[in-house]
Amino acid sequence: MPRSTPSPVHRPLAPPPVSSRFPVSSPFPSPFPFPFPFPFPFPFTFTFTFTFTFTFPLLLALLLAPAAHATSVLAPTFAELVAESDTIVRGTVTAVRSETFDSPQGPGIHTFVTLRVERALKGTPGDSVTLRLLGGTVGPRTLRVVGLPAFAVGQRQLVFFAHNGQTLCPLIGAGHGRYHVLTDPATRRDHIARDNTVPLASTDEIPLPLASPAVAAVTARLKSPSAALTLAAFETQIADTLRRAPLLPQRP
């Protein structure tokens, strides 16, 4: 009678030593100019491959910004969007570049977005403006911050921002402070779309949550550009709101 072969013993893999777990004694430098570890009240993920990817909710990032700029955490109303901006411009993206920066905790990445100004509705920006946002790609290393807008050369934009160069994202309310200027190919009519490219039918929609890219793509197909605000109408409402600014309530 043949002898039976004993079944292999499956032993669970031992957990890695504490010293190899991020953030305790991590071999990877922190990409942010604030110390680790610190309590994370929100879910986050770290993925380490040849490309470094860091994702976490936008709320956490903005909460870590200076308290004076914490109003950008909440989605603003249209009146708040206009009032809290120190600059509002319409322009075309002419350059997008990413650079590393050094901090006491290690290197990070900033992306610089340059727009050629077509019209300034608030502030005196000059012929161009360059926005600085946290995140980007330099060589094999990527820093991605979920919730921050991504720009591409050639896009026409209308942006509302403040404290540029001093915060993680200068756009008021992050994606709520960036709008696409799109042209309907059938009518040649310029209209406004939100950060996720869904046509903006009314300024009352500005504080509504921004749908995920998959949901936004479906919504954009179902929502006709003919129902969106025209560029002229949107800029007129901005100008009217600026004239009434002293009478409008401010967020705490």
Q: Which amino acid does the sequence have at 188?
A: R
pLDDT band at 13 (very low <50, low <70, confident <90, very high): low
- Can you give the pLDDT at residue 134? 94
pLDDT band at 111 (very low <50, low <70, confident <90, very high): very high
pLDDT band at 82 (very low <50, low <70, confident <90, very high): very high
The CATH architecture to which 53-243 belongs is: Beta Barrel (2.40)
Mean pLDDT of the chain: 77
- Can you give the pLDDT at residue 7? 54
Cβ 122 vs Cβ 88: under 8 Å = yes
Query: Is the model's pLDDT at 229 over the cut of 60?
Result: yes
Q: What's the average model confidence in pLDDT over 7-20?
A: 46
The three state secondary structure string of the chain is CCCCCCCCCCCCCCCCCHHHCCCCCCCCCCCCCCCCCCCCCCCCEEEECCCEEEECCHHHHHHCCCHHHHHHHCCCCHHHHHHHCCEEEEEEEEEEEEEEEEECCEEEEEEEEEEEEEEEEECCCCCEEEEEEECEEECCEEECCCCCCCCCCCCEEEEEECCCCCCCCCECCHHHHEEEEEECCCCCCEEEECCCCCECCCHHHCCCCCCCHHHHHHHHHHCCHHHCCEHHHHHHHHHHHHHCHHHCCCCC
- Can you give the pLDDT at residue 37? 41
pLDDT band at 42 (very low <50, low <70, confident <90, very high): very low
Distance CA 186, CA 14 (A): 63
Distance CA 193, CA 209 (A): 14
Where do the structural domains in the chain lie, given as residue ranges?
A: 53-243
Give tens-digit pLDDT for 150-162.
999 999 999 999 9
Query: Is the model's pLDDT at 182 over the cut of 70?
Result: yes
Around Cβ 160, how many Cβ atoms within 10 Å? 28
- Can you give the pLDDT at residue 73? 56
- Can you give the pLDDT at residue 220? 72
Tokens of 194: 């939100």
pLDDT band at 106 (very low <50, low <70, confident <90, very high): confident
Stronger pLDDT, 57 or 121, i.e. the higher one:
121
Query: Is the model's pLDDT at 83 over the cut of 50?
Result: yes
Stronger pLDDT, 173 or 42, i.e. the higher one:
173
- Can you give the pLDDT at residue 185? 87
